[in-house]
Structure 1
Amino acid sequence: MKKIFCPKCDTAIPLRRERIEELQASGEDRLSIICPQCTHQLNLRLRLPSAKSTKRQEQRTSVGHIIVVENVFGYKQLFPLYVGVNAIGRRNKDTATDIPVITSDPSMDRHHAIIKVTEGRTGKLRFAVADDDSRVGTFLAGELLAPKEWRYLQPGDVLTLGATSIIFSDEPLPEDPTIEES
C-alpha cells in the first residue's frame, strides 16, 4: 500500500497496490482521488518504468536502507539510502528533506540527522551518521553523539531521533513504481 499526501491539508490517503496494478494492466496512467479530509481533488499520474526512467534509476541505486520502528507517534516506514548525503527529519509539507519521516513526535526535528554514504579506498561502502544540530540530539546505540561528531554505522545499529527509533541496514531496498501528482 502506498500513501499519497494531500497538498492542501497534508492528510495521508492510502492507495492499495491492487489498484495500481489494475491501472497498469489496463494501460491507464491517470487517476483521480478526492481527499476525505478537505475534499480536494487530486489528479495523479502513474510513472511507468521506461528507458529514460530506468537510466535515472541506475544513477540513484539504493545502497542501504533504514527502518523507522513503529511507536505511538508513527507507523513502520522503510527508506532507501543513496551514495552521498541523506538528511533525515520529521516530514513537513513546508520543509524539504531527503528522508521525511512521517511522525507526530514533537522531539524529532525537521532536520535531525545526516547519514553520509561514501566509498572507501577498497571500494567498500561506508555509512556514517552525525547529528544535524537538533534540539534533543541523535543517539547511536543509546550514546549521545557530540556536536559535529561522525560515527560509522554497522548493520543492525539503532539510531534514536527524539522518541523515534531507526534501525540501519546496508542491504539495498528494491524500488517500486512511483506516483507523482500532475
Structure 2
Amino acid sequence: MKRVRCPKCDNYITFDETRYEQGQSLVFQCHNCGKQFGIKIGVSKLKALQKEEQLNEKANEKGFGSIIVIENVFHYKQVIPLQFGVNIIGRYMKGSKTNTPIETNDPSIDINHCSITVSRDKHGRLKYVLRDGPSYTGTFVDNVILGDREQRVIEDGTLFTIGATSVILRSAECEE
C-alpha cells in the first residue's frame, strides 16, 4: 500500500500500487477537500540520469558542497552536488533551466524555485547565498520567508524549506 498526500489539505489517500502498471497515470479526488490531482506510477527518469556517486552523502567531487533533500511523501532522500556559480533549484522537468533538479511530485515546488550562488569571499572561503526565485509558495529559512528575490547568506547545516520540502546545505569544508 502507498500513500499520497493531497496538495491542498495534506490529507493522506491510500491505494494499492500493485494493481497498477508502471507508467500508468492515476487521478485522485481528496474526500476531505474535493481537490483533484494526478500522479504517475513508475521508475524515476531523473534517477537514471544521476551518477551513482551523487546519491551518497560525499557526492561532491569538485568540492563546492551539496544539498540534502529530506525524504517525505513526495520523494526519497536525495543528495545533490552544487557547482561553482548559480545553482537553480527546482522540480525536475525535462528541458527546464534548472541545473540542480529535485525529483519530486510536490506540486508546491516551482520548476525554478530558488537558487544558491556558490562563490568565494575575500579570504578565499566558499560562500553560499540563497535567493528566492521568485516562487509561488516561497522559500523559508529558519521559518522566515524570503521576499521575492531577497538573498540570504547560509552556512553548513542551514535548513531551508521550498514548498513542502526541507533541504539542508552541506558546505564543501564539512563534507571531507
Aligned residue for 1:137? Answer: 138
Aligned length: 124
CA deviation map 1:71-108 (0-9, x unaligned): 00000000111110000000112423111101110000
* Native 8 Å contact 2:132 2:139 kept in 1: yes
Distance 1:12 1:148 in 2: 31
Whichever residue aligns with residue 154 of structure 2, its letter is L
Distance 1:112 1:61 in 2: 24
CA deviation map 1:25-47 (0-9, x unaligned): xxxxxxxxxxxxxxxxxxxxxxx
Matched, 1:12 2:44: yes
% identical equivalent positions? 38
CA deviation map 1:88-133 (0-9, x unaligned): 0001124231111011100000000000011111111110100011
Whichever residue aligns with residue 143 of structure 1, its letter is V
Aligned residue for 2:83? Answer: 82
Distance 2:43 2:92 in 1: 12
Structure 1 segments of 4+ aligned residues over 3 angstroms from their partners:
none
For normalisation by structure 2, the TM-score amounts to 0.64
Q: Identify which of structures 1 and 2 has the higher relative contact order when contacts are C-alpha pairs closer than 8 Å and 6+ apart.
A: 1
- 1:2-151 matches, within 5 Å, as 11-12=43-44, 61-151=62-152
**Residue 62 of structure 1, CA deviation:** 3.3
Distance 2:102 2:90 in 1: 6
Aligned residue for 2:162? Answer: 161
Larger Rg: 1
Distance 2:111 2:78 in 1: 17
**Residue 171 of structure 1, CA deviation:** 2.6
**Residue 161 of structure 1, CA deviation:** 0.4
Aligned residue for 2:27? Answer: none
